Amino acid sequence: MANTMHNKSILLGKRILLGISGGIAAYKAADLVRRLKDRGAEVRVILTPAASEFITPLTLQALSGNPVGQSLLDPAAEAAMGHIELARWADLILVAPASADVIARITHGMANDLLTTCILACAAPLAVAPAMNQQMYKNIATQNNLATLISREIHILGPAAGEQACGDVGPGRMLEPLQIVDAVIDIFANTAQASAENAKPLAGSSFVITAGPTREAIDPVRFISNHSSGKMGFALAQAAADLGATVTLISGPVQLTTPQGVRRIDVVTAEEMHQAALNEAQNHHIFIGCAAVADYRVAEVSTQKIKKTDDTDDMQLRLVKNPDIIASVAALTQNRPFTVGFAAETEQVEHYARLKLAKKNLNLICANDVSVPNQGFNADQNALTVYSATQVFQLPLQSKTALSNALISLIYEQFQHEKSH
């Protein structure tokens, strides 16, 4: 959390547009406005129609010192394009409380009220403090929406867990106003720090990153694959590109949008990924093998769909090994890139990671325990332990976006260290 000096000064003069959506936690918004104002922030408030059932515009106007926005179609405000002016005015949009409904509408880019229209029209950072029933929060639709927002680098503040107004106990309580204020201070502090540093520290470097699963055909309708979503590899590609690197992403079949500024090569099978990796590796400084490549493929792929028969209860497939992509890249004798592998294990993680590091002649290996619930495959967060021949680096559980930024920085630092020696 932010330090005492930041508490006193960093919000001074900052313009915060507070969006309040419908929910019992809306009553906390009055205190939140007061706390932000106490620290020198300018605050303007937008109420959704549902929020005005819980807290009055007059209260918020008195506390903020500014008129409260409610209607997108207010003739007086829109005569001067009020929603665009609000969007341009804000240094930060903070939605607190953020109901499941408003989170869904933000995720899908809707602009059907004043708040969501301002969000869509605003280039400033967006922070969202979820507040809802614990079951609504746990629902897969809400979790997918929050994951999408995280992937867009939208700040998710909380929620807390505990007893709820409905009597349930669990995650979904809005953070307390002072906790939200501290989080807002951190957002501005981190933004200021990022602006003060070199924005493109990886400019001039180039990465090849493999991501996602491969699919090995059995017949025209069936295949062997795995649970990799590709999220980690795509997050790494975005992080490297954001830091100024030239990035080529070799992706297996996934349902993900190409990261901005990244060149993408789509493949399906391990053999296709192997060929693409060898074609690209010698032209780049760093190779990261993040894909979950199938170890085996079917020796003889049927040209027709294999039919189920009544005279047998089993079917035998003969499998042959796929080429080892990361080992092939690490074995290059000319223009070999700094080579980083991944080890997704379910047991003896360190043992197997170190074996792969040595056997495949890698510079680094990133190990994660995919047996741990809610991390690794198909999850939006992960934790890694990174091994070199002589060092160990711990990257704790965090969003894959945050983890990717930390990992790319670590990889580049080790690449530079090795190059200098």
- Whole-number Å distance between alpha carbons of 33 and 180: 11
Active site residue 118: no
- Whole-number Å distance between alpha carbons of 338 and 418: 9
Secondary structure, 3-state, the chain: CCCHHHHHHCCCCCEEEEEECCCHHHHHHHHHHHHHHHCCCEEEEEECCCHHHCCCHHHHHHHHCCCEECCCCCHHHHCCCHHHHHHHHCCEEEEEEECHHHHHHHHCCCCCCHHHHHHHHCCCCEEEEECCCHHHHHCHHHHHHHHHHHHCCCEECCCEEEECCCCCEEEEECCCHHHHHHHHHHHHHHHHHHHHCCCCCCCCCEEEEEECECCEEEECCEEECCCCCCHHHHHHHHHHHHCCCEEEEEECCCCCCCCCCCEEEECCCHHHHHHHHHHHHCCCCEEEECCECCCEEECCCCCCCCCCCCCCCCCCCCEEECCCHHHHHHCCCCCCCEEEEEEEECCCHHHHHHHHHHHCCCCEEEEEECCCCCCCCCCCEEEEEEECCCCEEEEEEEEHHHHHHHHHHHHHHHHHHHHHC
Active-site residue identified among 122, 166, 290, 366: 166
Residues in the chain: 421
Residues serving a catalytic function are: 166
